[in-house]
Amino acid sequence: MVEQRFFDLELLKKPSLEKLAYFKGITVPHRNLKEVLNELKANILEPADTSVFFVFGVTGIGKSTLIKRLQKILLEDFLEDLLSNPGQIGVASVEASSPSQGKFNHSDYYIRALESLNEVLINYKVDYGIFETERSYDSKSIVPTVIKNTSTLRRAMEKVFINRQLRVFIVDEAQHLFATAGGHQLLNQMNWIKSIANFTKTIHILVGTYELLNCSTISGQIGRRSQDIHIARYHELLQEDVIEYSTVIQTLQRHLPLLEEPQLETQCEYLLQYSIGCVGMLKSWLVRALRISIEENATTLTLKHLKKAEFSASRRKQILEEAEAGEKRLQSDDKSDSAASLQRQQNTNPNLQSQGVGNRRPKRDLVGGN
């Protein structure tokens, strides 16, 4: 019914661009997203030794939505401190750029980080180095020279993190930080991130694809100071997932700025399967379908519009393969951890070792009569 719509009905009279912009801005706090947000919030507000969090999932899972909602939640929790100290920045985020020719550009990263913190005069950061010339001292003033090298930019970024009391720094597309050849380079990059987090006392949240699974096992020290958090997708074979996805669909359909609310929940199986169980993919799909329906001056969104806007079979196949490969690797790592833990217990306590069928447990036999 019209009175149950989730938007101002005046929106129906607005241009198509405004309608699309409204729907693009809608986010749905579904179960899997809430679980990740709650875990991150708990770790941030009551930190232990963990300084780096790897948050990963398949493309289209809704990582950008996660970042926006996490920033909003943290700013609400930090509000009292921020009001008492206007110079403080509680949380900031940056998107890591893809490396050029297999080499990550650290200077570009520092500049983007400084820009995200609204730092001024980034291109004029100065190195106030004092050098002795021919062992002589005179009354000449020391004129600082502008240096645009990487170390100067890093120091500037670290100083801003510390002076503005930044508590959380989020890096989107974080897999780009580690897109370098060779395990040694991966270790160097991970040590680089850990060093910044430790020096500035800023929690780093790295959000990206399943490629981030390579990072936490690169060394024992990094594994101890980091934590993996998986953004799971919804599966069509799990009834509880189907119910949750249907709820998401119903919420989104009520936000569609059309004269008649579409009944998309009747297409739940189709929408779940073709969006690979990813709410982000579902949202992008519905945005395209909405554009088509508006162009046709349709009163509602139909299956025909969904068919026109659906992802191609080749794209769905690629994304599904990436999702299944990541999930399989995650399960494999969990099994390896369980097996290693059991082996350590058996090595520590021989009584836990299997004796084998028909083999007696070692013990001293009685000798002689009673």
- Is residue 32's pLDDT more than 60? yes
* pLDDT value of residue 251: 95
Dig out the tokens for 221 from the structure: 């020290």
- Is residue 214's pLDDT more than 70? yes
* DSSP secondary structure, 198-229, as one string: HHHT-EEEEEE-GGGGGTTTS-HHHHHHEEEE
Segment 94-113, tens digit of pLDDT: 999 988 777 888 999 999 99
SS3 95: strand
Q: DSSP assignment, residue 139? A: S
**Is the torsion defined by CA of 185, 340, 39, 42 positive or negative?**
negative
> Using 50, 70 and 90 to split pLDDT, how confident is the model at 238?
very high
Q: Which of 79-88, 139-148, 157-166, 229-238 shows the lowest mean pLDDT across its residues? A: 139-148
SS3 132: coil
> Using 50, 70 and 90 to split pLDDT, how confident is the model at 201?
very high
The 10 Å Cβ neighbour count of residue 353 is: 11
> Using 50, 70 and 90 to split pLDDT, how confident is the model at 354?
very low
CA–CA dist 248, 27 (Å, integer) = 10
* pLDDT value of residue 363: 47
Segment 239-297, tens digit of pLDDT: 999 999 999 999 999 999 999 999 999 999 999 999 999 999 999 999 999 999 999 99
CB 280 within 8 A of CB 28: no
**Is the torsion defined by CA of 118, 120, 123, 124 positive or negative?**
negative
Segment 129-180, tens digit of pLDDT: 443 333 344 444 434 444 457 888 999 999 999 999 999 999 999 999 987 6
More confident call, 353 vs 13: 13
- Is residue 217's pLDDT more than 90? no
* pLDDT value of residue 76: 93
- Is residue 355's pLDDT more than 50? no
CB 68 within 8 A of CB 91: no
* pLDDT value of residue 55: 96
Mean pLDDT of the 23-48 span: 92
* The length of the chain, given as a count of residues: 370
Mean pLDDT of the 83-97 span: 92
Segment 59-75, tens digit of pLDDT: 999 999 999 999 999 99
Which residues of the chain form beta strands (DSSP E)?
52-56, 91-95, 126-127, 145-146, 168-172, 203-208, 226-230
Of 76, 41, 139, 58, give the one whose Cα is nearest residue 326: 58
* DSSP secondary structure, 268-310, as one string: HHHHHHHTTT-HHHHHHHHHHHHHHHHHTT-SS--HHHHHHHS
CB 122 within 8 A of CB 114: yes
Give the mean pLDDT of the chain. 83
Dig out the tokens for 56 from the structure: 């990963």
> Using 50, 70 and 90 to split pLDDT, how confident is the model at 187?
confident
SS3 346: helix
* pLDDT value of residue 182: 59
> Using 50, 70 and 90 to split pLDDT, how confident is the model at 308?
very high
Can you state the angle between helices 183-200 and 150-163, rounded to 10 degrees?
40
Dig out the tokens for 272 from the structure: 């779940």
Q: How far apart are the first and last CA of the chain?
A: 91
Long-range CB contacts for residues 84-89, cutoff 8 Å, separation at least 24: 85/165, 87/163, 87/164, 87/165, 88/164, 88/165, 89/117, 89/164, 89/165, 89/166
> Using 50, 70 and 90 to split pLDDT, how confident is the model at 122?
low
pTM for the whole structure: 0.80
* pLDDT value of residue 369: 45
**Which residue's structure tokens are 């920033």?**
71
